[in-house]
Structure 1
């Protein structure tokens, strides 16, 4: 069976065991391929105190505007129990018209399609009328500290700029062409601790139970909606994700009760205004209880690439190759597009994501080739 360039590269990437923070040889593989095609390529590592060193790739051909950058990641989540898979999760096995393996749709197939599209374009049209770049990280599935955000700072410090970006995350729920992402909601996580006084349940007057005030606070946080959403975004939602006292006994009033929550917020909010709203609700509901409220650092802001020339160009390319006009969506979790959006317009369009992070992750071979055609059409349209 003769494989297309994109499918062959997908298979080779799937055989790299690049579970975050390990690269497994994935980015050097891409670096060699891009250098051979005439790109200037840099493999750049970042780390911090106590943090794993993360390998990232930046490649570019051309030095002038307009510059179209393709972004993505080659790191993957752990496969779980390999024995539960139909095929070895790092084999890149091809069967039933699908290619199987951890990262097939999220997002080694998308990375392979973008690189194949660029190489096809260069072979057919020669040097680009502008520039094509790649921004590929090994830290998207991890803390996202030593990946795209630092790589962008490194690129900008060199004086380089991008005019638009396509991120190849798996955006389609059911069929290639269903959906492209033009924005994402932000994410903010916090923890509430109510401090009580330990005591015997038979002598409650000698103790102070922290659970009732915590329950009042959680009701205050969840009962009233944060907003009603916008024309581009769903309503912001606060979800309580843990409630705990650390109390193994049935006859002891606990000394404290704590809860963690996560908020997915739209562009009506900033982290600062959201923290203030939460603090107000906690203060109102705490009724004199001893309460502490802390927030984790927020590196996921809401962003939106409004409808315009670039979003239309991408949607037109998708429709031309798939026959479907993609829905412009801001749903789903966070992605590295949140970092790129500060530098240029960014949209996300990739493969079908029904099996991402799941046992037997897989993607249709035909979809990889059609995605390559979509990306090729975007390159041609953007650089013409």
Structure 2
């Protein structure tokens, strides 16, 4: 296996400034890497007709496939968009720089490094081993409206649904290989508004203060215990994330009070049921509630897929990864609707931070792990 390939690919991808939503040069780089390996590359823009600013700008997506007449269909999914680098980097975040045994640059671990490792692994996967595809979006770090969901629609229309999908998010914690994700909690955000009547504080009988009612609502919500968790998931939790009245005067009763909630929930709950429950509570006190469900909880039960990843990791780095459902959401929440999904990738210690960096040795080891996982799953029995 050519251990230098993953490093070279990662450097090229990092050099493409692809702050979310990503388009253009970074996808040109991917296409240049994949076409010589026998892949058909299909690129398209999504969201051009969407006038909702909350859905973000149009984004580019890429689906690449190398067909085989035998074997299973194994997919790798990821994103080439990155969060803004912020100020204070020791070097240009979009000029990849090697310092000692580390490669620095925005996206090094989240997640251009893992994409580079997978493409490097393709050089050692025979074309007749089975069908391989890559599902790459430019909209994971943003609203995620026109990214992987649009790619799934594209795949369904062309009849290219994989048997298994590995998402290359940075799941490792203390060292490469110590954790994989076999599920994720769901996520829903809610906005509560309580209307009142503005007035002078000296004449409260002529006004209606919405703040006490909002406080009552939030106290009831704070007292809720949704569940105690499951064998694979931690307990669901409700967090109050914002309060807003906007009253700059000291002698005015405000006309409106607002709050925002974020709920992360396990597979004992559903987004719709949570919204209905909280809306009923809020409306009982005269308020209103709107919500946005980012994704439902999902679980890929331990089995052949997670077993293949565990075996490959142990073969290459000598440890067995913990199967976990902790952390935030990822695009796996969409892909789980079409096939079994597991997430596995680099150490996440520096993702979204200044001076993001990946160990060059980890890029090499991850390339070997990805190669072994793909070969195992392409040969898996139906």
Aligned to 1:158: 158
* 1:78 alignment partner in structure 2: 84
TM-score in terms of structure 2 length: 0.94
Task: Check if 1:291 corresponds to 2:287.
Answer: yes
Gaps of 5+ in 2: none
Equivalent positions of 1:1-384 (< 5 A) are 4-47=4-47, 48-50=49-51, 52-64=57-69, 65-81=71-87, 84-121=88-125, 126-283=126-283, 286=285, 290-296=286-292, 298-384=293-379
8 Å CA contact retained: 1:221, 1:282 = no
Shift of 1:63: 4.0
3-state SS in 2 of match to 1:293: strand
How far is the alpha carbon of 1:245 from its aligned partner?
Answer: 0.5
Number of matched residues? 372
The Cα offsets for residues 28-79 of structure 1, whole Å up to 9 and x where unpaired, read as 1111211111111111221232352211111111244410000001110111
The alpha carbon displacement at 1:103 in A equals 0.5
Q: List 4+ stretches of structure 1 deviating above 4 A.
A: none
**How far apart in 1 are the matches of 2:98 and 2:57?**
33
Question: How far apart are 1:139 and its partner, in Å?
Answer: 0.7
Q: Flag structure 1 segments of 5+ consecutive residues without an equivalent.
A: none
In structure 1, C-alpha distance between the alignment counterparts of 2:271 and 2:224, rounded to whole Å: 19
Cα deviation, 1:119-171, whole Å, max 9, x if unaligned, reads 222xxxx3232211111111111111111111111111111221001100000
Note the alpha carbon deviations across 1:252-306, whole angstroms, 9 max, x for none: 111110001111111111122111221233345x2xxx3111112x241111101
Shift of 1:363: 0.9
The whole-number CA distance in structure 2 between the counterparts of 1:56 and 1:276 is: 34
Separation of aligned partners in 2, 1:217 and 1:331: 29
For the aligned residue pairs, the C-alpha RMSD in angstroms reads 1.5
Q: Distance in 1 between matches of 2:212 and 2:280?
A: 18
- Cα distance in 2, alignment partners of residues 265 and 326 from structure 1: 24
Q: Offset of 1:177 from its aligned partner? A: 1.1
- The Cα of 1:8 is off from its aligned counterpart by 0.6
| Mean Cα deviation higher: 36-45 or 352-361 | 36-45
State the alpha-carbon separation in 1 of the partners of residues 346 and 3 from structure 2.
18
SS in 2 for 1:128: helix
How many angstroms does 1:23 deviate by?
2.6
TM-score by length of 1: 0.94
